[in-house]
Structure 1
């Protein structure tokens, strides 16, 4: 049987930032949003003008990212059987469920068939599109990738790039009718959430109150609560606290006990009650902040 030669890179991770850095061309941040020890996996295939990713994570994670430049991305949520269209024209943000698995097909816009298409999609970008075909397609593609990984000599099916293009746009076409009113509502919600995220990113160390976040979003406090329950499954202040805990963890992992203390890092991120902070940190990451700092120091002292 004829096939397409491809190198399939499969990697496992135990730190969130390691998984983020493993995906070439994507820029952004990951924030752990549910308690436990992180475990993740990526599968990556690079073909001419097309890339395929499969990403798995055991915990809920907020992803804030930009796609590779000049790319159009079809992202399939395998748990909810939904399709999201992503481009580099907008900052993409969402919170994954636990035990998340996503398949993404990245088309480089150097392919003439994609010229100007991203602008035509307009408000469909990031709108969840549900279809029975999402499950069928993502199951087929995942099975195909893992079969090829087990037998590299067999490669991928001949003509897979053409099939990916045809299948992705077929699924998109099935869902483009009848979404106009839903698109308007989801676009308004995304803009409100995005205004909150921009405020937090402009002053990442601040601990904003719920009224301050609602004012930045341009919505009522009650509406902000509803939006964040739908977006993150929690209140906006809980969401902000988890983001700051993630920031503390990153700083601790990049430092040593000779350079800083847990208290200094915690207060840098507006955690003034250190006992309560330590309890929250342990509940989220499953280890004490002093342990994280100790591990980072041990890693830096290890022989190269």
Structure 2
């Protein structure tokens, strides 16, 4: 169901969720294996957009927010862990992005809320209240410790918007009600931006540097994947340490992560292949899958369908265009 201010999307196609966020520069990769299902609800308020998303499999999401906005993310439930730029999220933490790239990893059965607010509105509110954005939040992605009662206040506002996921909130049908809720979100975000303290994450930056070096190396050899021992040698870490860093930063192992990223790359290329005349094997080989039988089995396990079916869907979409 869609309205002028309320939207509800339920999909088994992970890329459809990304396309719905068309104002974002956003990408999803499915990390967990099996049929995917996602539910994304959106409420458009004056200068504020409020979302809630529920996913049945772990994902990696990356990109940037719409220009001229500041965003915040809070866990809705504690059913599955979330990692934002390598830091594990908890109920007492919030992620804030001010003109910064975001990397967001979710565990299975993820449920979280996020909002974006026009930067100009935030700047006006800061000026009118005599407050200033905390320096550690300016023009970056930060994980912050929620000040005072801000955690419960934000959750109350998100509950008004999306307490019953997938149902139009009757309390917001009036324009005045939506305007008041937007004002409340703005003022609460000003409170957070001016008073939130940095979330302490011991050794978090070091772990993320190890993971980033390993990923850069592995992504540079997609057509001929490196062994995990080669990766360890180049980044100067033991296999145990590398596994630990990946688990802490991304919630998965190096091998599982790279296999998932490569499988997602194959899937995305097959859906976008159009009239290039490439077959499944051509695309799979480009992503470093040389043992076609094993690739086909891994692909079906990960996405719940054969690669040939995905390729056919890509061709069918081209014909419908």
* TM-score normalised by structure 1 residue count: 0.81
| Superposition deviation, residue 257 in structure 1 | 8.7
In structure 1, which of residues 73, 98, 102 is the aligned counterpart of residue 108 of structure 2? 98
1:139 alignment partner in structure 2: 159
Cα distance in 2 for residues equivalent to 1:63 and 1:167: 26
1:108 alignment partner in structure 2: 118
User: Aligned in 2, Cα 1:87/1:172: closer, same or farther, shift over 3 Å?
Assistant: closer
- 2:119 corresponds to 1:121: no
User: Aligned in 2, Cα 1:144/1:176: closer, same or farther, shift over 3 Å?
Assistant: farther
User: Aligned in 2, Cα 1:66/1:280: closer, same or farther, shift over 3 Å?
Assistant: same
Secondary structure, aligned partner of 1:207: coil
Alpha-carbon contact 2:280-2:308 (below 8 Å) kept: yes
In structure 2, which of residues 171, 184, 195 is the aligned counterpart of residue 163 of structure 1? 184
1:286 alignment partner in structure 2: 304
- 2:104 corresponds to 1:83: no
- 2:248 corresponds to 1:230: yes
Superposed counterparts of 1:211-222, under 5 Å:
211-214=229-232, 219-222=237-240
Cα distance in 2 for residues equivalent to 1:217 and 1:137: 44
Q: Which runs of 5+ in 2 are unaligned?
A: 79-90
In structure 2, which of residues 42, 52, 55 is the aligned counterpart of residue 54 of structure 1? 52
- 2:61 corresponds to 1:63: yes
Q: Which runs of 5+ in 1 are unaligned?
A: none
Deviations 1:165-217 (A, max 9, x none): 3334556778627x4xx246323333433344444555554523334544665
Cα distance in 1 for residues equivalent to 2:16 and 2:61: 14
Cα distance in 1 for residues equivalent to 2:107 and 2:54: 11
* TM-score normalised by structure 2 residue count: 0.77
User: Aligned in 2, Cα 1:168/1:189: closer, same or farther, shift over 3 Å?
Assistant: farther
Cα distance in 1 for residues equivalent to 2:204 and 2:47: 31
Tell me the matched-pair count: 295
Alpha-carbon contact 1:72-1:118 (below 8 Å) kept: no
Q: Which stretch of the first structure deviates more once superposed, 201-210 or 26-35?
A: 201-210
Cα distance in 1 for residues equivalent to 2:72 and 2:99: 12
